């Protein structure tokens, strides 16, 4: 594809495949997928990376419990994550990376080498608290002893164990000021602002050097002996977060920094992650990259957590929702729409059956579905099955057309901040206005009194539906495509892959080019069913 627009590189966090995906994972994939689709439709060559994070003690321990090897566990569950992406959620990723992929070992080794060359890695001894569940070290004052006599990480509530071993350290402390300078020069690096501020405050309070290798287990990327800093007789594996973060480089061809894909796509435009891993992405990751003399990502978007009716999802409570259960019950596009419309991406959100139902029935079936179905049926029935020739436009016509015209620019700005909620809210506000317009103009009465005026009203309504359908594609690829098919809108440009229906997505290139009178339409079938 040739495009004058800059390429766009987006990543999700890579999930631990010690279990199977839940609706919280699906939330992140769907949002990132909508973002990637939006950029493709808007003419950017887009690369979208997702995958699984397979090393570390958590994976090793989970495998031991099942009596299989960590590689077997990773292979089995990674396949399930990929299946859910492909078959349940319709995620349009370009590569599904596994950190056990061969090229990822090369990339992890190479970034390690660069950090050694920078003089940022040294051998010492680690003694402190480690949470296997979080794959994270805690200082003593970040932990507490609870009523059961056991020690837990205060912030995350996970059990910690005393760990004492030889370890390589990364000179994170050296990067405190460079990071703070970088944050002030790039105020949109972390989003939303409130979560980014928490990160900045943490860095301001001082940074300790970071333990980046382990010797008490072996399920990880080996630290190559010739690339170490300091003499050791022990075998070290990289701390899982060192190799995990490096996946974002592997995905675009690192260590070959001269490769076409690396030059085109690095630095990443946005890493999409959840709020529990903001420090890894906003502090460790940019520090590693500074040390390795590589460019820093442009943005880290930190989303909130999904809760089940206000309660944290957890296996012990038994309220963990599998993505396929929701998709079966409500349909994929309604699930995708609900998750992106219901709460701002940066905030936590709580879902209930009633809330999903409300969105599906009022926003989709009533607001969009009914308007499209009524107006297009009238066109087919009363305008000889063709988009009618509109007459002169009244103030009411111009007003609703102008409102819908602004939606592309508003959506662009909102998507650039991963504010899907705002883009959809505004789009559905305009749909509400279009419904009011349709009701006021009463085209079904005009049929008997003023055919030319009826044609204009139907034309204007169909045009608003077309614009809304174009912009709904990233969120509801299949339904929006069906709607654009019903409007017989041409497929133009390479706006991404074809959808399940076989029709291609319609790029935003023709957003401001109105419907052509005389275009034949077929009798429409309802696209957004009510949930009974
Ligand atoms: O953190 N709601 O993997 P992970 C919303 N391997 N998002 C949620 C969520 C919820 N209830 N629960 C989890 C890891 N997430 C690391 C990442 S990246 C180099 C390595 C999000 O499987 C979570 O915040 O625990 C993270 O962004 C993603 O799901 C994977 O979580």
Show the tokens assigned to 117: 């060359």
> pLDDT tens across 41-69, in order?
999 999 999 999 999 999 999 999 999 99
Contact between 161 and 132 under an 8 Å Cβ cutoff? The reply is yes
Query: What gap in Å lies between CA 409 and CA 38, rounded to an integer?
Result: 12
The atom number, within ligand 1, closest to the CA of 274 reads 24
Inform me whether the pLDDT recorded for 76 exceeds 50.
yes
The atom number, within ligand 1, closest to the CA of 17 reads 22
Q: How far is the CA of 26 from the centre of ligand 1 (A)?
A: 10
Of 10, 12, 15, the residue with max ligand 1 atoms within 8 A of its CB, to mutate for a pocket test, comes to: 15
Mean pLDDT of 115-124: 96
Residue linked to tokens 């909508």:
34
Contact between 227 and 113 under an 8 Å Cβ cutoff? The reply is yes
Mean pLDDT of 453-458: 98
With a 6 Å cutoff on the Cβ, whether 276 touches ligand 1 is yes
List, as one string, the DSSP characters of 74-97: HHHHHHHHHHIIIIII----SEEE
- Coil, helix or strand at residue 385: coil
Contact between 52 and 99 under an 8 Å Cβ cutoff? The reply is yes
Gap between the terminal Cα atoms of the chain: 44
Instruction: Give the C-alpha distances (Å, rounded to integers) separating 73 from 130, 264, 284, 474.
Output: 23, 35, 28, 33
Mean pLDDT of 447-454: 96
Name which of 461, 470, 444, 467 is nearest 396 in CA terms: 461
Q: How far is the CA of 274 from the centre of ligand 1 (A)?
A: 6
Give 220's Cβ-side CA count (13 Å radius).
27
**Phi then psi for 145, rounded to 5 degrees?**
-95, 125
> pLDDT tens across 338-382, in order?
999 999 999 999 999 999 999 999 999 999 999 999 999 999 999
Give 429's Cβ-side CA count (13 Å radius).
11
Inform me whether the pLDDT recorded for 1 exceeds 60.
no
Residue linked to tokens 């009022």:
362
Mean pLDDT of 469-474: 98
Q: How far is the CA of 48 from the centre of ligand 1 (A)?
A: 17
Contact between 123 and 230 under an 8 Å Cβ cutoff? The reply is yes
With a 6 Å cutoff on the Cβ, whether 348 touches ligand 1 is no
Q: What domains lie within the chain, and their CATH numbers? A: 8-110+241-352 (3.40.50.620), 121-237 (2.170.220.10), 365-520 (1.10.730.10)
Inform me whether the pLDDT recorded for 143 exceeds 70.
yes
**Phi then psi for 167, rounded to 5 degrees?**
-155, 150
Instruction: Enumerate the β-bridge partners of residue 152.
Output: 144, 159
Query: What gap in Å lies between CA 430 and CA 461, rounded to an integer?
Result: 11
The per-residue pLDDT for 64 is 97
Inform me whether the pLDDT recorded for 285 exceeds 70.
yes
Inform me whether the pLDDT recorded for 503 exceeds 60.
no
Inform me whether the pLDDT recorded for 501 exceeds 50.
no
The per-residue pLDDT for 25 is 97
Query: What gap in Å lies between CA 427 and CA 409, rounded to an integer?
Result: 11
Mean pLDDT of 246-253: 98
Query: What gap in Å lies between CA 104 and CA 502, rounded to an integer?
Result: 34
Query: What gap in Å lies between CA 347 and CA 339, rounded to an integer?
Result: 12
Instruction: Give the C-alpha distances (Å, rounded to integers) separating 282 from 241, 287, 407.
Output: 13, 9, 32
With a 6 Å cutoff on the Cβ, whether 274 touches ligand 1 is yes
Instruction: Give the C-alpha distances (Å, rounded to integers) separating 191 from 301, 313, 361.
Output: 5, 24, 32
Query: What gap in Å lies between CA 164 and CA 182, rounded to an integer?
Result: 34
Helix (H) or strand (E) holding 411: helix 407-416
Q: How many CB atoms lie within 10 A of CB 139?
A: 9
**In percent, how much of the chain has pLDDT > 70?**
97
Contact between 213 and 239 under an 8 Å Cβ cutoff? The reply is yes
Of 276, 313, 315, the residue with max ligand 1 atoms within 8 A of its CB, to mutate for a pocket test, comes to: 276
CA angle at 456 for the pair 405 and 393, rounded to the nearest 5°: 65
The atom number, within ligand 1, closest to the CA of 52 reads 6
Show the tokens assigned to 477: 């690829």
The per-residue pLDDT for 2 is 53
Instruction: Give the C-alpha distances (Å, rounded to integers) separating 125 from 213, 215, 256.
Output: 10, 11, 33
The atom number, within ligand 1, closest to the CA of 273 reads 27
Inform me whether the pLDDT recorded for 202 exceeds 80.
yes
Alpha carbon 301 to chain centroid distance? 9
**Residue 498 neighbours by CB under 8 Å, 6+ apart:** 504, 505
Burial of 383 (0-12, 13-18, 19+ CB in 10 A): buried
pLDDT category of residue 499 using cuts at 50, 70 and 90: very low
pLDDT category of residue 3 using cuts at 50, 70 and 90: low
Inform me whether the pLDDT recorded for 226 exceeds 80.
no
With a 6 Å cutoff on the Cβ, whether 302 touches ligand 1 is no
Ligand 1: residue whose CA is nearest its atom 23: 274
Alpha carbon 131 to chain centroid distance? 27
With a 6 Å cutoff on the Cβ, whether 23 touches ligand 1 is no
Q: How far is the CA of 166 from the centre of ligand 1 (A)?
A: 29
Of 11, 12, 13, the residue with max ligand 1 atoms within 8 A of its CB, to mutate for a pocket test, comes to: 13
pLDDT category of residue 500 using cuts at 50, 70 and 90: very low
- Give the dihedral sign, CA 344/347/351/355: negative
The per-residue pLDDT for 382 is 96
Q: How far is the CA of 276 from the centre of ligand 1 (A)?
A: 7
With a 6 Å cutoff on the Cβ, whether 11 touches ligand 1 is no
């Amino acid at each position: 594809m040739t495009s004058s627009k800059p390429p766009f590189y987006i990543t999700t966090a890579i999930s631990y495949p010690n279990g199977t995906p839940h609706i919280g994972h699906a939330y992140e994939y769907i949002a990132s997928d909508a973002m990637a689709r939006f950029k493709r439709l808007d003419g950017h060559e887009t690369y979208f990376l997702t995958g699984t994070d397979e090393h570390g003690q958590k994976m090793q321990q989970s495998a031991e419990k099942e009596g299989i090897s960590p590689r077997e566990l990773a292979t089995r569950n990674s396949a399930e994550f990929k299946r859910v992406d492909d078959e349940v959620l319709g995620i349009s990723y370009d590569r599904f990376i596994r950190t056990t992929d061969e090229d990822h070992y090369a990339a992890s080794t190479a970034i390690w080498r660069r950090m050694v060359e920078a003089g940022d890695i040294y051998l010492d001894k680690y003694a402190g608290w480690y949470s296997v569940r979080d794959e994270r070290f805690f200082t003593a004052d970040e932990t507490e002893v609870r009523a059961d006599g056991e020690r837990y990480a205060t912030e995350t509530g996970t059990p910690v164990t005393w760990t004492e071993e030889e370890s390589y350290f990364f000179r994170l402390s050296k990067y405190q000021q460079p990071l703070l300078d970088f944050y002030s020069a790039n105020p949109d690096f972390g989003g939303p602002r409130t979560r980014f501020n928490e990160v900045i405050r943490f860095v301001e309070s001082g940074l300790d050097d970071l333990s980046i290798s382990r010797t008490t287990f072996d399920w990880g990327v080996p630290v190559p002996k010739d690339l170490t800093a300091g003499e050791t007789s022990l075998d070290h594996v990289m701390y899982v977060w060192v190799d995990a973060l490096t996946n974002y480089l592997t995905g675009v061809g690192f260590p070959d920094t001269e490769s076409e894909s690396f030059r085109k796509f690095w630095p990443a435009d946005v890493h999409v992650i959840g709020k529990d891993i903001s420090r890894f992405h906003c502090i460790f990751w940019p520090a590693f990259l500074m040390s390795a003399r590589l460019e820093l990502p442009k943005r880290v978007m930190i989303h909130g957590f999904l809760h089940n009716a206000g309660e944290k999802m957890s296996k012990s409570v038994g309220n963990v929702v599998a993505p396929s259960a929701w998709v079966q019950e409500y349909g994929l596009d309604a699930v995708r729409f609900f998750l992106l419309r219901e709460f701002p991406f940066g905030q936590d959100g709580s879902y209930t059956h009633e809330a999903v139902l409300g969105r599906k029935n009022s926003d989709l079936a009533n607001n969009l579905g009914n308007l499209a179905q009524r107006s297009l049926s009238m066109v087919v029935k009363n305008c000889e099955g063709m988009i009618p020739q509109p007459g002169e436009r009244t103030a009411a016509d111009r007003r609703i057309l102008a409102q819908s015209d602004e939606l592309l620019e508003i959506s662009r700005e909102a998507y650039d901040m991963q504010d899907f909620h705002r883009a959809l809210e505004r789009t559905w506000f305009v749909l509400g206005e279009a419904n009011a317009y349709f009701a006021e103009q009463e085209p079904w009465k005009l049929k008997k009194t003023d055919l030319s005026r009826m044609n204009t009203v139907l034309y204007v309504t169909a045009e608003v539906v077309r614009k809304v359908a174009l912009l709904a594609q990233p969120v509801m690829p299949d339904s929006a495509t069906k709607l654009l098919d019903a409007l017989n809108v041409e497929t133009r440009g390479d706006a991404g892959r074809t959808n399940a229906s076989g029709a291609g997505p319609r790029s935003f290139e023709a957003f401001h080019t109105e419907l052509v009178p005389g275009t034949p339409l077929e009798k429409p079938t309802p696209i957004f069913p009510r949930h009974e």
